[in-house]
Amino acid sequence: GAATTFAFVATPDGAALRHFVRVGVRSLLVGLAFLVGAAGVWPTAGDAARVGRRLVAAGFVLFGAQQLHYFGITTARVLGWGVPGYVPLMGIADLILQWTIGLGMVMCLLEEERFSAMRAARRAEHLAYHDALTGLPNRRLLRDHLELALAQARRTGGRVAVVFLDLDRFKVINDSLGHGVGDRLLDAVGDRIRHAVRAGDTLARIGGDEFTLLLPAVADPDDAGAVARKVVEAVRAPFTVDGHELFVTASAGISVAPDDGADADTLLKHADVAMYRAKEAGSDSFAFFAPEMNARAAERLALESALRRALPAGQLRLLFQPVFSVETGRPVAAEALLRWAHPERGVLAPDAFLGVAEATGLIVPIGAWVLREACACARRLRAAGAPELAVLVNLSARQLAEAGLVEEVRAVLVDEATPPHLLELEITESLAMREPLAAEAALRGLRALGVRISVDDFGTGYSSFGYLRRFPVDTLKIDRSFVRDVDTDEGGAAIAAAIIAMGQRLGLRVVAEGVEREGQLAFLRAQRCDAAQGFHLGRPVPAEALEAMLRGACAGEVAVAGD
């Protein structure tokens, strides 16, 4: 230490020079090193609470200065200016400074531990209030912000809007491209929405593909509509995820306080209800909450819980509508059509409950049941005298997106001893075009089983004919709206004739739906349409009734061609 260094104070000048070189230069270097070190540990504005660190920094500065001071003293000695009288006291100062630095370092270590514990707690708190995938606030934080905004609005008499957003086809993407892609898409959607709104608005992710936007101060409900429109439009532009170009749309529902509810729960619920309304109206849009929606939502909820019980309770039935060869008048197929014997509302047609079945995913087990039941019934119908009778089964969008569809069909074909070419699956154009890649893969898998594919309601969907070549399709079913006027209107006849001709040119079987009059049948015969279906030829009936009819048909009672 410094105390021994200055035991040589009284030696002559040659020794002073050596002393300068040995001690002075070292003091200079040590002093500079400590000052640099002090700069390194100097607390930043954020470290105000770190006493240990400040102590170390201050100790470094003072100790560095002290060392420079020694350098000054040795220099003065070499120059022969003598040595100040307080030099012996400096040893004590050195000791104090070294203690200070040591103490500071211990405090520093303790504090570091405390701070890292605090950081961990902060991180845990962040996780509790944020969604791990997107980093956006979660439902809890949204509620906090919403309650705050409501309290403020009550004082100022202002308005608060909640926009509930739900992606329209997220499940299809998730199921067909995998959860990794799905997660990254959600992240990208969150980013895009956040950039479409103001910094003061809270965007939260509150569930799988559900986001909620809080607009804490809106002057007019229409402003919330403008924001919702902007967000829906922002989502509409394609996303690129892992090299896939993905198209999603969002549906939004808006509720505004105090008009649509004064508390957080009511507002969130009403925005959700309005979102469902937007979906029902065709998705990719937004809707404001309206009080009468509550009644509809309650009704839908009741329908949903009843439908959940329908399958186990054996309330679902199939009717079969025969399809006839136009040329021979013989029945060539039977279409399975679903009915629900609702315990209170009587027998419901599919239009009354398929929407709910789709939205809830219930269509998947129901569709599986339809497939099996239809194949089982068809076996009995064939035994009744129509050995080549095909069974037509309608598929829903959800089923086509389901990964296990092909396997399931294969199992049913085996279990019900159904020749694959006698099962024809009906899909609609819009259904297949919503997710063309997934649909194409599923359809090719089904085709590989030997099952036939039919395009239902042809002409009402996208009318993009490209897919007719791309998808493995066997049959076109002309929608009944095109069949309606063929015997009364020249324009209608021309369109139907063109569709039939096109199907023939593509080598497809063409079936006309909704034949209600003899005149329509005559037209179809003239156009050489392959088959026809409709109330004029046979209504949907239970399998037993069709069975009886088929036995009659074998005896020649149903003769459509003749007339």
> Given the rule CB under 6 A, which residues bind ligand C2E?
321, 336-338, 349-351, 354, 367, 370, 394-396, 426, 456-457, 480, 513-516, 533-535, 540
Residues 6+ apart with CB under 8 A from 536: 515, 516, 517, 518, 520, 521
CA distances in angstroms from 28 to 37, 292, 516, listed in the order given:
14, 85, 109
Identity of the residue, 190 or 534, whose beta carbon is nearer to ligand C2E in the bound complex: 534
Q: How far is the CB of 480 from Ca ion (least distance, A)?
A: 7
Binds 202: which of Ca ion, ligand C2E, none (CB < 5-8 Å by kind): none
Q: Tell me which residue of 516, 521, 554, 522 sits closest to 535, measured CA to CA.
A: 516
Identity of the residue, 187 or 456, whose beta carbon is nearer to Ca ion in the bound complex: 456
Identity of the residue, 181 or 318, whose beta carbon is nearer to ligand C2E in the bound complex: 318
Q: How far is the CB of 379 from ligand C2E (least distance, A)?
A: 18
Identity of the residue, 166 or 426, whose beta carbon is nearer to Ca ion in the bound complex: 426
CA distances in angstroms from 9 to 43, 65, 545, listed in the order given:
39, 21, 126
Identity of the residue, 8 or 369, whose beta carbon is nearer to ligand C2E in the bound complex: 369
Binds 370: which of ligand C2E, Ca ion, none (CB < 5-8 Å by kind): ligand C2E
H helices then E strands: how many in the chain? 22, 17
Specify the residue for token string 């998705």. Answer: 283
Identity of residue 275: M
Q: What stretches of 341-451 show up as alpha helix (H) in DSSP?
A: 354-360, 363-383, 397-401, 405-415, 429-434, 436-449
Identity of the residue, 126 or 539, whose beta carbon is nearer to ligand C2E in the bound complex: 539
Q: How far is the CB of 535 from ligand C2E (least distance, A)?
A: 4
Specify the residue for token string 């009717």. Answer: 319
Q: For residue 456, how far is the Cα from the chain centroid? A: 28
Q: How far is the CB of 204 from ligand C2E (least distance, A)?
A: 35
Identity of the residue, 101 or 306, whose beta carbon is nearer to ligand C2E in the bound complex: 306
Binds 350: which of ligand C2E, Ca ion, none (CB < 5-8 Å by kind): ligand C2E
Binds 396: which of ligand C2E, Ca ion, none (CB < 5-8 Å by kind): ligand C2E
What's 138's DSSP letter?
Answer: -
Find the part of the chain contacting Ca ion (CB under 5 A) among 270-278, 423-431, 437-445, 497-505: 423-431
Binds 338: which of Ca ion, ligand C2E, none (CB < 5-8 Å by kind): ligand C2E
The number of beta carbons lying within 10 Å of the beta carbon of residue 45 is 5
The number of beta carbons lying within 10 Å of the beta carbon of residue 145 is 18
Instruction: Specify the pairing of strand 423-428 against strand 390-394.
Output: parallel
Q: What stretches of 163-213 show up as alpha helix (H) in DSSP?
A: 170-177, 179-196
Q: Which two tokens stand for residue 231?
A: 């967000």
Identity of the residue, 271 or 478, whose beta carbon is nearer to ligand C2E in the bound complex: 478
Q: Which residues pair with 211 in a beta bridge?
A: 165, 205
x-or-dash pattern for Ca ion, window 478-517, by CB under 5 A?
-----------------------------------x----
Identity of the residue, 201 or 456, whose beta carbon is nearer to Ca ion in the bound complex: 456
Q: How far is the CB of 248 from ligand C2E (least distance, A)?
A: 23
Q: How far is the CB of 377 from Ca ion (least distance, A)?
A: 16
3-state secondary structure 50-87: CHHHHHHHHHHHHHHHHHHHHHHHHHHHHCCCCCCCCH
Binds 514: which of Ca ion, ligand C2E, none (CB < 5-8 Å by kind): ligand C2E
Contacts (CB under 5 A) with Ca ion, residues 303-322: none
Find the part of the chain contacting Ca ion (CB under 5 A) among 127-135, 265-273, 455-463, 499-507: 455-463
Q: How far is the CB of 336 from ligand C2E (least distance, A)?
A: 6
Sign of the torsion formed by the C-alpha atoms of 441, 444, 448 and 450:
positive
Q: Does 426 bind Ca ion (CB under 5 A)?
A: yes
Specify the residue for token string 């679902």. Answer: 316
Q: Which residues pair with 240 in a beta bridge?
A: 245
Q: How far is the CB of 483 from ligand C2E (least distance, A)?
A: 8
Contact with Ca ion (CB under 5 A) among 131, 187, 424, 457: 457
N-to-C CA span, the chain: 125
Q: Is there a contact between 147 and 212 (Cβ–Cβ < 8 Å)?
A: no
Contact with Ca ion (CB under 5 A) among 251, 321, 394, 533: 394
Binds 337: which of ligand C2E, Ca ion, none (CB < 5-8 Å by kind): ligand C2E
Identity of the residue, 402 or 456, whose beta carbon is nearer to Ca ion in the bound complex: 456
Q: How far is the CB of 545 from ligand C2E (least distance, A)?
A: 14
Identity of the residue, 165 or 370, whose beta carbon is nearer to ligand C2E in the bound complex: 370
Find the part of the chain contacting Ca ion (CB under 5 A) among 121-129, 295-303, 426-434, 531-539: 426-434
Q: How far is the CB of 414 from ligand C2E (least distance, A)?
A: 21
Judged by CB under 5 A, how many residues of this single chain contact Ca ion? 5
Whether the bond into 365 is cis, omega within 30 of 0: no
CA angle 195, 196, 200 (to 5 degrees): 75
Q: Which two tokens stand for residue 350?
A: 């599919």
Q: Does 428 bind Ca ion (CB under 5 A)?
A: no
Contact with Ca ion (CB under 5 A) among 166, 187, 272, 456: 456
Whether the bond into 472 is cis, omega within 30 of 0: no
Q: Is there a contact between 274 and 288 (Cβ–Cβ < 8 Å)?
A: yes
Residues within the interface to Ca ion (CB under 5 A): 394, 426, 456-457, 513
